[in-house]
Structure formats: C-alpha cells, structure tokens
Amino acid sequence: MEKSTFYHAGCPVCNTAEQELVHLIEADKIDVVHLGEDKSKIAEAKAKGVNSVPALVTPNGNVLHINFGASMDDLVS
C-alpha cells in the first residue's frame, strides 16, 4: 500500500495541519517528515515538487500545499 507523505517544519501552521490530516487520513497511510529535524530530506521534498510547508505528497505524486507555514528556501541550513 502506497502512503502519502506529510512534510512540515514544526511551525504552528504545520502542526495544525498535521493534527487535522493525521486525524482524517488513517495513520498507517501517512508518513510524517519534519524537515527542520531531518534536513537530509529537504532535497527529497523539493524533488517531489514541495515548494512550501506544510505539504502533503499523495501516492499519485501530486503535491497539495496546505495553507502556508514556510518556504522551502527558508529551511535550507
């Protein structure tokens, strides 16, 4: 079973979106990646088309940018 991946950076906007989505989508169908804590995943997220966080990448590869917490450019250390 393919999973969605939720990318976030720990910002308040991200946390609200995460709580809502993890509640709406079954937990075993979504992976959560904190780009602030795991910066090695930033390139992976960008390659998938993630421009800002929070964002949900679906099993079909579509990127759903949800509200706006931070630009990916702000996450590069």
- For residue 44, give the H/E element and its range: helix 42-47
Out of 47, 60, 73, 77, point to the residue binding a copy of itself (CB under 8 A). 60
Q: Which range binds a copy of itself by CB under 8 A, 33-41, 42-50, 54-62, 69-77?
A: 54-62
Question: What's the rounded Cα separation, in Å, for the pair 59 and 69?
Answer: 22
Question: What's the rounded Cα separation, in Å, for the pair 26 and 70?
Answer: 26
Residue with tokens 């991200």: 14
Q: Does 4 bind a copy of itself (CB under 8 A)?
A: yes
Question: What's the rounded Cα separation, in Å, for the pair 64 and 38?
Answer: 20
Q: Per-residue string for binding with a copy of itself, 19-38, x by CB under 8 A?
A: -xx-xxx---x---------
- Using CB under 8 A, list all residues that contact a copy of itself: 4, 16-17, 20-21, 23-25, 29, 58, 60, 62-68
